[in-house]
């Protein structure tokens, strides 16, 4: 029996078990704390609702609402959890001289951390293809129940279809249903508009068609159109305004809807937005971030390993540990900062979505290679 070849396999198997155990432990600690905070916040909001307090299923409903937020929480904290787990694991490996043992049989640092990288890449892919759809469904369910129990009033809703853009806006005496063929990008002007006006009792008042519609504070400004009234003579106009209940400067095609879509639907939705002239930067960057999150997780491992392993002492200075974790947090928030810049169209969406992750990955690869060269 070739013990020289079998020994590294046994050791790697043991090291991976330690790594998985630490990931699970850190994730559970974070989840418990976040679940507790969410439950307290939901309880606070619920306690303000008299009807809710009189409900005999009060506590079970609150627990259910808190649980619905967990899949999205896991998805969001997974990179940081794996970073902290990797730091803890590498420290334990170093203190127990596992790396010394591995190097004595001729295995480099690259090969040593290859398995952890493959493992976290696999975890990232599982998150992408299984956790992501579950998180989207649970988040959608949570939003629905939140509106039901807490009475969240929606001032504006926007939906897109092959027939055009549909917008619901609140007015002082009712609401508007607006249909537009497309929108002039960057000018925020709806083209070829049809507006259906209703009162607070959902009774139809009139229909308005216009060449364009734009927002100016709490005024919806229409140009070149016609008002169709059921009971009086129809009226043509060059400029006509409708007062809204709140001030809006833009039609808000925000990225919240992306969190309720699977990746295929989100990609198709982006194509539809592009066709209708809607700014799709937020949605594209969100899609790229989700697709490349497994690479981000691997990058954090590659960058943390050399920083921990270059310390030759068995007792690790707290500054090294804190610095390593801090770098991970900085990278994580840098990705979000680039996302904001891309959403504001200050950066190309592809640069904002992929750029930071790609840079971190190549820096991590360089650090591992440089560390290996030093040790040779």
Q: Confidence band (pLDDT; 50, 70, 90) for 3?
A: very low
Q: What percent of the chain has pLDDT over 90?
A: 3
Arithmetic mean of pLDDT, 89-104: 75
Q: What pLDDT sits at residue 32? A: 92
Q: Evaluate if residue 327 carries a pLDDT over 70.
A: yes
Q: Evaluate if residue 250 carries a pLDDT over 80.
A: no
Tell me: the pLDDT tens digits for 46-85?
A: 776 655 555 667 778 888 888 998 998 898 888 888 888 8
Q: Evaluate if residue 212 carries a pLDDT over 70.
A: yes
Q: Among the listed ranges 65-74, 113-122, 157-166, 241-250, which one has the minimum average pLDDT value? A: 241-250
Arithmetic mean of pLDDT, 237-264: 72
Which of the pair, 283 or 371, is modelled with greater confidence?
283
Q: Evaluate if residue 161 carries a pLDDT over 80.
A: no
Tell me the pLDDT of the chain averaged across its residues.
78
Tell me: the pLDDT tens digits for 10-26?
A: 767 777 888 888 889 98
Q: Evaluate if residue 186 carries a pLDDT over 70.
A: no
Q: Which of 253-267, 301-315, 335-349 has the highest mean pLDDT?
A: 335-349
Which of the pair, 132 or 45, is modelled with greater confidence?
132
Distance set, CA 81 to CA 22, 93, 243, 256 (Å): 9, 18, 49, 24
Q: Which of 49-53, 253-257, 331-335 has the highest mean pLDDT?
A: 331-335
Arithmetic mean of pLDDT, 152-177: 75
Which of the pair, 331 or 125, is modelled with greater confidence?
125
SS (H, E, C) the chain: CCHHHHHHHHHHHHHHHHHHHHHHHHHHHHHHHHHHHHHHHHHHHHHCCHHHHCCCCHHHHHHHHHHHCHHHHHHHHHHHHHHHHHHHHHHHHHHCCHHHHHHHCCCCHHHHHHHHHHHHHHHHHHHHHHHHHHHHHHHHHHHHHHHHHHCCCCCEEEEEECCEEEEEEEECCEEEEEEEEEEECCCCEEEEEEEEEEECCCCEEEEEEEEEEEEEEEEEEEEEEEEECCCCCCEEEEEEEEEEEEEECCCCCCHHHHHHCCHHHHHHHHHHHHHHCCCCHHHHHHHHHHHCHHHHHHHHHHHHHHHHHCCCCCCCCHHHHHHHHHHHHHHHHHHHHHHHHHHCCCCCHHHHHHHHHHHHHHHHHHHHHHHHHHHC
Angle between helices 3-47 and 109-126 (to 10 degrees): 40
Q: What is the pTM of this model?
A: 0.76
Which of the pair, 154 or 32, is modelled with greater confidence?
32
Q: What pLDDT sits at residue 261? A: 77
Q: Which of 53-57, 147-151, 264-268 has the highest mean pLDDT?
A: 264-268
Arithmetic mean of pLDDT, 307-313: 66
Which of the pair, 307 or 41, is modelled with greater confidence?
41
Arithmetic mean of pLDDT, 355-372: 81
Q: What pLDDT sits at residue 83? A: 85
Radius of gyration of the chain (CA): 27
* Domain segments of the chain as ranges: 3-151+282-375, 156-248
């Amino acid at each position: 029996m070739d013990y020289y070849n079998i020994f590294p396999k046994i050791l790697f198997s043991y090291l991976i078990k330690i790594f998985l155990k630490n990931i699970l432990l850190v994730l559970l600690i974070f989840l418990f704390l976040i679940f507790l905070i969410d439950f307290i916040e939901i309880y606070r909001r619920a306690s303000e609702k008299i009807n809710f307090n009189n409900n005999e299923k009060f506590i079970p409903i609150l627990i259910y609402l808190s649980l619905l937020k967990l899949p999205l929480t896991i998805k969001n904290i997974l990179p940081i959890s794996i970073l902290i787990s990797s730091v803890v694991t590498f420290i334990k490996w170093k203190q127990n001289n596992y790396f010394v043992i591995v190097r004595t049989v001729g295995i480099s640092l690259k090969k040593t951390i290859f398995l952890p990288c493959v493992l976290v890449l696999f975890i990232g892919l599982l998150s992408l293809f299984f956790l992501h759809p579950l998180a989207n469904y649970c988040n959608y369910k949570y939003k629905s129940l939140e509106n039901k129990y807490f009475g969240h009033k929606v001032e504006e809703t926007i939906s897109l279809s092959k027939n055009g853009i549909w917008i619901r806006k609140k007015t002082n005496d009712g609401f508007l249903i607006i249909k537009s063929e497309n929108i002039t990008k960057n000018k925020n002007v709806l083209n070829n508009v049809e507006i259906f006006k209703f009162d607070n009792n959902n009774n139809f008042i009139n229909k308005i068609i216009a060449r364009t519609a734009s927002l100016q504070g709490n005024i919806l400004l229409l140009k070149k159109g016609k008002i169709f009234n059921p009971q009086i003579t129809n009226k043509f106009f060059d400029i006509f305004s409708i007062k809204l209940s709140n001030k809006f400067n833009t039609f808000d095609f925000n990225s919240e809807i992306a969190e309720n879509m699977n990746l295929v639907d989100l990609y198709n939705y982006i194509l539809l937005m592009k066709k209708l002239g809607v700014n799709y930067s937020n949605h594209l960057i969100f899609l790229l971030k989700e697709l490349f999150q497994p690479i981000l997780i691997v990058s954090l491992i590659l960058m943390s390993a050399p920083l921990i392993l270059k310390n030759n002492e068995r007792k690790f200075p707290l500054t090294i540990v804190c610095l390593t974790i801090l770098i991970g947090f900085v990278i994580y928030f840098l990705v979000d900062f680039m996302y904001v810049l891309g959403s504001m169209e200050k950066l190309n969406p592809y640069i904002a979505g992929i750029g930071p992750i790609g840079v971190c990955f190549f820096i991590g690869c360089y650090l591992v290679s440089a560390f290996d060269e030093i040790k040779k």
